[in-house]
Structure 1
Amino acid sequence: MAAPQSTGSTPTRTASRTTLGRALMWPAVTAGVGILLIYNSFGTPVDDKPPAPPAAVASATPEILGSHAAPAPLPPSPTTVGPTMPRSVPERLSIPAIGVNAPFTDLSLGANGQLDAPPPNDNNLVGWYKDGATPGERGASIVAGHVDTLTGPAVFLQLQYLKPGAKVDITRADGSVATFKVDSVEQFSKANFPDERVYADTNSAQLRLITCGGAYDKTAKDYKDNVVAFAHLDTFKEG
């Protein structure tokens, strides 16, 4: 849940390329130093099935997201491509194509250097890494959500079924609405996750929606894959 916010300018990102652990990671930098971000859900699985398709959503298992080191960012581009918006924190996510309408919670680092998880008992909540780009700003904004929890299917259960061209609307604190268009939805093994492609800095306003997917490994208590939706800012409405 997957992925990243507070006010202020977007920090510069630097970090190691080394793959570490098994929980999903997002990039962050404080004072120019890369920090590992890990997000885990809680509970013991009762089923090893991946999320059911939209027509057959019945029960689901709690996930533990995989983990990857944030890549070194691409060199800053002198030219910004496409529309961008000033910084404003996200408040609500709407994806009509898969029935998502959920509020945001900020995700930040805990005392142990790991990313605090959203409440494990809230099925309709998405998290945003608050020290990264806000949705609509230049850069890749990281949004994560559970595919399921101990209480059943969760907000990103159907993320894998999202199609290219689908619209993603994010209402922001300043009253503006950023509308993203999905470019692709892809599934990656957590053992071979494309860190740079997902997390690297961009010269346009991008969005990454991340959750778990694939088969559930009862021994590791973890889904084997991550599902990532790649999207770009298409249009926006000022508040």
Structure 2
Amino acid sequence: MPSRTPHRFRRTAALLTAAAACLALAGCSSSESSSAAPATPSASSGRGGAASGPGEPAGSAGSAGSARPSRTGEADRPGPVHVSIPSIGVRSTLMELGLNADGTVEVPPAEKGMTAGWYTGGSLPGTPGPAVLIGHNDTRFGRAVFHDLKDIREGAEVLVRDGAGTTLRFTVTGKETVSKKAFPTRRVYGPTKGSTLRLITCDGEFDAEGHPVDNLIVYGALA
């Protein structure tokens, strides 16, 4: 039986390369964005905009994402379809987010700001590694799905349901606000032994173009 180590190495290397190139949340602007430049992260049932910088969703470009890569032990597992965070009143279906043609990460479109997305380049919830959910804080249409994510506390419960109806319970282990210029790519997208969760949105002051300069990252682990 061939070793799985090279496969895992390639998977991790590819994930971190993509993350380093484009995964910071660029979205969450107070002004409308009509180009592929970073904008507010929002969500919807379609493919979304580009992201620029490590771990950074932007919310305006058209979609050209890649399909979720096939991984050992995941071929027959359904993807996540719903997330809820009872402590802050979040309930949302999940759209799939891949990569745009330029290698940037898709984010939900601004007009679907109350819907979050699952980045298919990460892990499936319940399998080893980080599952990454992306949502807008605010969009030009107003308050968005992760608007109150800043209020979440350590120990809070995050429930993720897959297409087969199985609900996984994650517990928040911490959160941090980081500059988009110094996004902790490896900490967010790097491999983990257990099943972990990352929730990402925009945060902080606005720059001259009306885009938040920071990202809020919430970390969780399977309970």
State the TM-score, normalizing by the size of structure 1: 0.67
Task: Give 2:215's aligned residue.
Answer: 226
Which of these residues, 120, 125, 129, is aligned with residue 119 of structure 2? 129
AA aligned opposite 1:183: T
Is residue 63 from structure 1 mapped to residue 40 from structure 2 by the alignment? yes
Instruction: Tell me if the contact between 1:138 and 1:206 (Cα under 8 Å) persists in the aligned partners.
Output: yes
Separation in structure 1 between the aligned mates of residue 151 and residue 177 of structure 2, nearest angstrom: 11
Separation in structure 1 between the aligned mates of residue 206 and residue 137 of structure 2, nearest angstrom: 12
Is residue 45 from structure 1 mapped to residue 42 from structure 2 by the alignment? no
Structure 1 unaligned runs (5+)?
Answer: 1-8, 19-25, 28-33, 47-61, 71-85, 235-239
Separation in structure 1 between the aligned mates of residue 28 and residue 213 of structure 2, nearest angstrom: 16
5 Å-filtered alignment, 1:206-221, equals: 206-217=196-207, 219-221=208-210
Cα displacement (A) at 1:221? 3.2
Separation in structure 2 between the aligned mates of residue 225 and residue 102 of structure 1, nearest angstrom: 23
Separation in structure 1 between the aligned mates of residue 218 and residue 28 of structure 2, nearest angstrom: 24
Instruction: Tell me if the contact between 1:205 and 1:233 (Cα under 8 Å) persists in the aligned partners.
Output: yes
Higher relative contact order structure (alpha carbons within 8 Å, sequence separation ≥ 6): 1
Task: Compare the two structures and name the one with the higher strand fraction.
Answer: 1
Q: Tell me, what secondary structure is at the counterpart of 2:111?
A: coil
Distance change (3 Å), C-alpha of 1:179 and 1:186: same
5 Å-filtered alignment, 1:1-239, equals: 12-14=11-13, 27=19, 36-37=22-23, 40-41=26-27, 45=31, 63=40, 67-68=53-54, 87-217=77-207, 219-234=208-223
Cα displacement (A) at 1:102? 0.3
Separation in structure 2 between the aligned mates of residue 221 and residue 66 of structure 1, nearest angstrom: 15
Instruction: Tell me if the contact between 1:95 and 1:168 (Cα under 8 Å) persists in the aligned partners.
Output: yes
Instruction: Tell me if the contact between 2:110 and 2:139 (Cα under 8 Å) persists in the aligned partners.
Output: yes
Separation in structure 2 between the aligned mates of residue 92 and residue 231 of structure 1, nearest angstrom: 16
Cα displacement (A) at 1:124? 1.4
AA aligned opposite 2:119: Y
Task: Compare the two structures and name the one with the higher helix fraction.
Answer: 2
Instruction: Tell me if the contact between 1:124 and 1:155 (Cα under 8 Å) persists in the aligned partners.
Output: yes
State the TM-score, normalizing by the size of structure 2: 0.72
Separation in structure 1 between the aligned mates of residue 21 and residue 214 of structure 2, nearest angstrom: 23
- 1:108-135 CA-to-partner distances (Å, cap 9, x unmatched) read 1122222222121012111111132111
Identity across matched positions, percent? 32
Structure 2 unaligned runs (5+)?
Answer: 1-6, 33-38, 42-50, 57-75
Distance change (3 Å), C-alpha of 1:38 and 1:185: closer
